[in-house]
């Protein structure tokens, strides 16, 4: 008879648990009372009865039920009963979590905390539940502070896997919060072997990259990297990212020193190239280390040539991604496209060959799809155009590409946007781009993007990044679309799987095809057109800069990468020749090193440094453009011209002096000026650059004539006719497609 009752009560307990999980509390209470009547000394029923009250948010009744059940127990019994009660609560919390009933799990976990305030694993579970409930209240923050305090005290050992789950969840939930940084630091004492270190790094590194490159918070990302380096000071992968984070946060000195430190630790050529590139980037970003940067570039070129000579065939995907854009700085140092494009083409060809090994399945699948479509004559009703970029936001590319998106013929073309590292952006221009595409895709990793492009069945993929982003290069190497085209973002990448590079009659010399691996597709007039720019209220005034009202103001508004010592010397000679002239220098850089750089050249050329003014960046592009109006003449850079800045200068009707070279980067201003209908200011030699600078500075009438011509050009010039430009781009797409399907 007793055995029959025991079996019956066990099934009743199962029934109670089911009622609990279904939140049928009244029935569960009745069942508990019935069991207590059958076996009044079985404490398990009281634990469940109190739990039911707890879940109904009757915490006083719950605690009273448990207390009364333990009232007459001996010390040994009380200890055993407490353990039993906690086991019931723990088991039910886990079950509710599995059912994603996080509110019930939260209630139970809070009760466990009352019983065991220093139970670190329960606190971890409680915080994980709070994140699931999106509970960012003061209570949640206080719990996190408690956890950090417990971890730092090292009184109790957490379950390592659970600690890492908590860290991952918090990095996803609140990556920029100071408490998240504090938690990362508090984890360090619990990482005691290589396996745990590997897990910790696998959690922290992707979060760091996201913070630094997707959320654009380089300073915070650097703090995470600094914490990790306390564990492993010579970790070259962390140092690589840390150097970039410092540089992105305008912490130039530390960015340079960290790049040097990494360079001293690596031995293999691909790693030496990646480290040296970081060093060049740091030196160029700072703006005042021209000779150091030039020396680093000479070393860089020799490393790349050595790698090309060796032709390794076992490069990892990580090393390939670092190499694809490693020759990025060549056009900033010199104008030798025939030589530099040969190196660039050979480098990316080497990367492509190695990509075919590690990504052979994706490459083969895409190639087969393209062949099948071609054989079967499968044609989409509309041409599917995919635009791939991380710059479709408040960025030079974003400001210039928008007119093409706006004027696309939606009857003929279906537009897809592949937005890299942009998922968390809420800025207006990016949101505008999202509204302009038929389908928007956000992804950060090349394999995800390749899969999306493949599934979308894109006909023509337009790359707007070239080699400025490794992820874009990786996508292009796989060739998920049958036709791939580079446009606008930079010079051509040289990647063998890119079919075309968009140009015009001016931006590349007539013989350029001799050293381009892509087929150059020249549009009839201009390779870019805009319908203007938003102009704000200027923040610069002559009197605030201590410049007389009758003075001639020259301006150079370029980022530090473009500050070439030879060009600055030419600019100083212009200033010296024009009486009552001042030179405004604008652009992100390290202020002291930049000033030192300009002052030294000014003194060598006999220019009084009091004629120089260094003006800071402003928060809005519209204000930057309005501030251009303070200039009488803009002096362009060489061998890397302005592009967006040139367009802005021309739109503001300000004369500009540019020197024309051979490479794409040295001909941007030239093509824009030609397509705006002016030749005044176009120089082909150093001598002509100085002559135009001096002439435009001294001849106010000439400046007025150029300004008037630019104002008139708004109604007639190809540069400002975005509708016509869009028609020409669309015609190019159609011709590319016809060539492809009939080849």
Percentages helix, strand, coil for the chain (3-state, rounded to 5) are 65, 10, 30
Distance from first CA to last CA of the chain, Å, rounded? Answer: 89
460-463 sheet: strands from edge to edge: 439-443, 413-420, 383-389, 460-463, 483-486, 500-503, 519-522
Domains of the chain: 272-357 (no CATH), 359-522 (3.40.50.11380), 543-720 (3.40.50.2000)
Please report the pLDDT score of residue 189 as a whole number. 95
Please report the pLDDT score of residue 39 as a whole number. 86
The answer to whether residue 340 scores a pLDDT higher than 80 is: yes
Rounded to an integer, what distance in angstroms lies between the CA atom of residue 728 and that of residue 304? 38
- Percentage above 90 pLDDT, the chain: 86
The answer to whether residue 3 scores a pLDDT higher than 50 is: no
**pLDDT band, very low/low/confident/very high, at 2 (cuts 50, 70, 90):** very low
State whether residue 733 is helix, strand or coil: helix
The answer to whether residue 12 scores a pLDDT higher than 80 is: no
User: What is the per-residue pLDDT across 90-139, written as a single tens digit (0 to 9) for each?
Assistant: 999 999 999 999 999 999 999 999 999 999 999 999 999 999 998 777 88
User: What is the per-residue pLDDT across 191-242, written as a single tens digit (0 to 9) for each?
Assistant: 999 999 999 999 999 999 999 988 889 999 999 999 999 999 999 999 999 9
Q: What is the mean pLDDT of the chain?
A: 94
Mean pLDDT over residues 625-639, rounded? 97
What Rg do the C-alpha atoms of the chain give, in angstroms?
33
User: What is the per-residue pLDDT across 158-202, written as a single tens digit (0 to 9) for each?
Assistant: 999 999 999 999 999 999 999 999 999 999 999 999 999 999 999
Q: Rounded to two decimals, what is the model's pTM?
A: 0.90
CB burial class (10 A; 0-12, 13-18, 19+) of residue 37? exposed
Which phi-psi region, left, alpha or beta, contains residue 532 (left: φ > 0; alpha: ψ -120 to 50)?
A: left
The answer to whether residue 6 scores a pLDDT higher than 60 is: no
Please report the pLDDT score of residue 8 as a whole number. 59
Mean pLDDT over residues 379-395, rounded? 93
The answer to whether residues 418 and 449 touch, using CB atoms and an 8 Å cutoff, is yes
State whether residue 462 is helix, strand or coil: strand
Cis before residue 639, ω within 30 degrees of 0? Answer: yes
Please report the pLDDT score of residue 426 as a whole number. 84
Rounded to an integer, what distance in angstroms lies between the CA atom of residue 234 and that of residue 262? 8
The answer to whether residues 388 and 462 touch, using CB atoms and an 8 Å cutoff, is yes
**pLDDT band, very low/low/confident/very high, at 9 (cuts 50, 70, 90):** low
Please report the pLDDT score of residue 743 as a whole number. 87
The answer to whether residues 575 and 604 touch, using CB atoms and an 8 Å cutoff, is no
Instruction: Output 9 or 480, whichever has higher pLDDT.
Output: 480
B/e letters for 233-264, b = 16+ CB within 10 Å, e = fewer, are eebbebbbbbbbbbbbbbbbebbbebbbbbbe
Q: Give the bridge partners for 423, in sequence order.
A: none
Mean pLDDT over residues 322-327, rounded? 95
Mean pLDDT over residues 385-394, rounded? 96
B/e letters for 343-376, b = 16+ CB within 10 Å, e = fewer, are bbbbbbebbbbbbbeebeebbeebeebbeebeee
Q: How many CB atoms lie within 10 A of CB 434?
A: 14
Q: Which of 148-157, 375-384, 413-422 has the lowest mean pLDDT?
A: 375-384
H helix runs in 578-685, sequence order: 591-604, 621-627, 644-651, 668-676
**pLDDT band, very low/low/confident/very high, at 5 (cuts 50, 70, 90):** very low
User: What is the per-residue pLDDT across 699-717, written as a single tens digit (0 to 9) for each?
Assistant: 999 999 999 999 999 999 9
């Amino acid at each position: 008879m007793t055995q029959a009752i025991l079996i019956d009560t066990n099934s009743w307990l199962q029934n109670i648990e089911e009622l609990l999980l279904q939140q049928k509390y009244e029935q569960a209470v009745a069942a508990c009372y019935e069991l207590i009547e059958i076996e009044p000394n079985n404490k398990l029923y009281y634990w469940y009865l109190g739990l039911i009250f707890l879940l109904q948010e009757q915490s006083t009744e719950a605690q009273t039920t448990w207390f009364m059940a333990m009232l007459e127990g001996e010390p040994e019994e009380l200890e055993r009963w407490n353990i039993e009660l906690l086991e019931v609560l723990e088991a039910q919390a886990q079950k509710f979590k599995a059912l994603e009933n996080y509110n019930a799990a939260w209630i139970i976990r809070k009760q466990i905390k009352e019983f065991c305030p220093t139970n670190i694993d329960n606190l971890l579970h409680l915080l994980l539940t709070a994140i699931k409930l999106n509970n960012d209240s003061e209570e949640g923050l206080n719990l996190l502070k408690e956890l950090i305090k417990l971890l730092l005290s090292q009184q109790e050992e957490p379950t390592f896997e659970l600690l890492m789950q908590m860290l991952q969840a918090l990095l996803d939930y609140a990556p920029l919060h100071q408490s998240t940084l504090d938690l990362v630091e508090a984890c360090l004492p619990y990482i005691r072997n290589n396996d745990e270190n590997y897990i910790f790094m696998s959690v922290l590194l992707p979060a760091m990259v996201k913070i630094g490159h997707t959320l654009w918070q380089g300073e915070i990302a650097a703090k995470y990297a600094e914490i990790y380096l306390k564990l492993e000071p010579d970790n070259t992968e962390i140092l690589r990212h840390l150097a970039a984070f410092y540089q992105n946060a305008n912490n130039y000195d530390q960015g340079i020193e960290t790049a040097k430190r990494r360079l001293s630790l690596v031995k293999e050529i691909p790693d030496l190239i990646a480290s040296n590139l970081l060093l060049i980037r740091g030196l160029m970003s700072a703006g005042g280390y021209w000779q150091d940067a030039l020396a680093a570039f000479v070393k860089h070129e020799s490393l790349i040539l050595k790698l090309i000579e060796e032709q390794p065939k076992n490069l990892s995907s990580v090393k390939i991604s670092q190499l694809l854009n490693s020759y990025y700085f060549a056009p900033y140092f010199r104008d030798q496209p025939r030589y530099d494009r040969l190196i660039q083409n050979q480098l990316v060809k080497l990367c492509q060959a190695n990509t075919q090994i590690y990504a052979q399945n994706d490459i083969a699948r895409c190639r087969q799809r393209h062949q099948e479509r071609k054989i079967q004559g499968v044609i989409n009703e509309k041409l599917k155009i995919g635009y791939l970029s991380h710059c479709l936001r408040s960025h030079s590319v974003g400001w210039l590409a928008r007119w093409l998106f706006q004027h696309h013929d939606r009857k003929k073309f279906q537009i897809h946007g592949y937005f890299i590292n942009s998922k968390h952006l809420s800025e207006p221009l990016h949101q505008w781009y999202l509204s302009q595409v038929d389908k928007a895709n956000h992804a950060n990793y090349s394999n995800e993007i390749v899969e999306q492009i493949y599934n979308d069945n894109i006909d023509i993929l337009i790359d707007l990044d070239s080699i400025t982003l490794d992820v874009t290069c990786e996508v292009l190497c796989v060739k998920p679309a049958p036709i791939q085209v580079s446009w606008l973002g930079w010079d051509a990448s040289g990647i063998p799987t890119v079919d075309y590079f968009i140009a015009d009659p001016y931006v590349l010399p007539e013989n350029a095809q001799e050293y381009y691996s892509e087929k150059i597709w020249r549009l009839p007039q201009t390779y870019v057109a805009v319908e203007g720019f938003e102009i704000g209220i200027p923040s610069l005034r002559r009197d605030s800069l201590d410049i007389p009202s009758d003075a001639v103001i020259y301006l150079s508004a370029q980022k530090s990468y473009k500050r070439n010592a030879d060009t600055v010397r030419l600019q100083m000679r212009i200033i010296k020749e024009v009486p009552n002239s001042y030179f405004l220098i604008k652009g992100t850089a390290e202020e002291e090193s930049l000033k030192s750089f300009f002052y030294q050249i000014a003194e060598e050329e006999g220019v009084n440094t009091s004629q120089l003014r260094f003006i800071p960046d402003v928060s809005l592009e519209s204000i930057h453009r309005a501030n251009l109006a303070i200039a009488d003449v803009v002096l362009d850079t060489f061998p890397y011209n302005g592009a967006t800045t040139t367009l802005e200068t021309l739109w503001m009707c300000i004369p500009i002096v540019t020197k024309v070279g051979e490479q794409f980067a040295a001909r941007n201003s030239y093509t824009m000026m030609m397509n705006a209908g002016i030749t005044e200011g176009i120089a082909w030699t150093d001598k002509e650059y100085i002559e135009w600078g001096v002439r435009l500075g001294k001849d106010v009438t000439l400046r007025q004539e150029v300004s008037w011509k630019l104002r008139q050009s708004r109604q007639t010039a190809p540069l400002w006719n975005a509708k016509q430009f869009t028609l020409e781009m669309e015609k190019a797409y159609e011709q590319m497609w016809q060539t492809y399907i009939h080849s």
